[in-house]
């Protein structure tokens, strides 16, 4: 039995300059659907967000979007999803995504993606959940961030155990396998 039935994917609402990011989002959606993993994401139709949602849907998978009402009115909501949850604000969005998902995968993105990653990681550290999170390091996008996290650990502001919770992978298959293994192991509770 798999521990990851629904995966929250954090990613950009823009496609980025490097076409490998959109290719990774499209491929991830196809692989998730093939593995029977539902998508939980921010509910948008633009950028990498729209690409992965369309990919999961095209492959016959289920997609659960969570979007603040203010963004729906700006016509960025994807209206063809399995379910679209409309919430009041970004805090409720992140809480609902955490509630719906069994783990988190970060593709390339900007400050919104960073915010989502840090909140998932912080909530894990505080014991609010024991769900794993992973960076998909397409084209080396996350390399400098990974190095910085190592620096934070080395400077004594993060424990080695906490740093080790931040998984990273070069391939989609490796990312999904790492998340599955971590989710299975975490069923005993968060790492303190």
Quote the pLDDT of residue 83: 97
Residue ranges of domains in the chain, CATH in brackets: 6-188 (3.40.50.450)
Enumerate the β-bridge partners of residue 167: 134
- Give the tens place of pLDDT for each residue, 113-170: 999 999 999 999 999 999 999 999 999 999 999 999 999 999 999 999 999 999 999 9
Sorted by sequence, the CB contacts under 8 Å of residue 4 that are 6+ apart come out as: 37, 102, 103, 176, 179, 180, 183
pTM metric for this prediction: 0.94
CA dihedral 191, 8, 98, 50 (to 10 degrees): 150
Quote the pLDDT of residue 191: 46
145, 139, 189: which is closest to 167 by C-alpha? Answer: 145
Quote the pLDDT of residue 75: 64
- Give the tens place of pLDDT for each residue, 49-98: 999 999 999 999 999 999 999 988 776 999 999 999 999 999 999 999 99
Q: Decide if pLDDT at 188 tops 80.
A: no
Quote the pLDDT of residue 190: 47
Q: At what angle do helices 90-100 and 111-125 cross, to 10 degrees?
A: 60
> Residue 6, by phi and psi: left (phi above 0), alpha (psi -120 to 50) or beta?
beta
């Amino acid at each position: 039995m798999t521990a990851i039935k629904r995966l929250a994917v954090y990613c950009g609402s823009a496609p980025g300059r490097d076409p490998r990011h959109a290719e990774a989002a499209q491929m991830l959606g196809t692989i998730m659907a093939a593995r029977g993993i539902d998508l939980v994401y921010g509910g948008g139709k633009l950028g990498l967000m729209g690409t992965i949602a369309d990919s999961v849907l095209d492959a016959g998978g289920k997609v659960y979007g969570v979007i603040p009402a203010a963004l729906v009115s700006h016509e960025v909501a994807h209206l063809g999803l399995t379910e679209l949850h409309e919430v009041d604000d970004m805090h409720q969005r992140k809480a609902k995504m955490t509630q719906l998902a069994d783990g988190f995968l970060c593709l390339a993105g900007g400050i919104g993606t960073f915010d989502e990653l840090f909140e998932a990681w912080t909530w894990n550290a505080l014991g609010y959940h024991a769900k794993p999170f992973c960076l998909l390091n397409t084209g080396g996008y996350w390399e400098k961030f990974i190095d910085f996290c190592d620096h934070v650990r080395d400077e004594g502001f993060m424990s080695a155990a906490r740093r080790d919770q931040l998984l990273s992978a070069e391939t989609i298959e490796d990312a999904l396998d790492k998340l599955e293994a971590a989710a299975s192991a975490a069923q005993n509770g968060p790492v303190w």
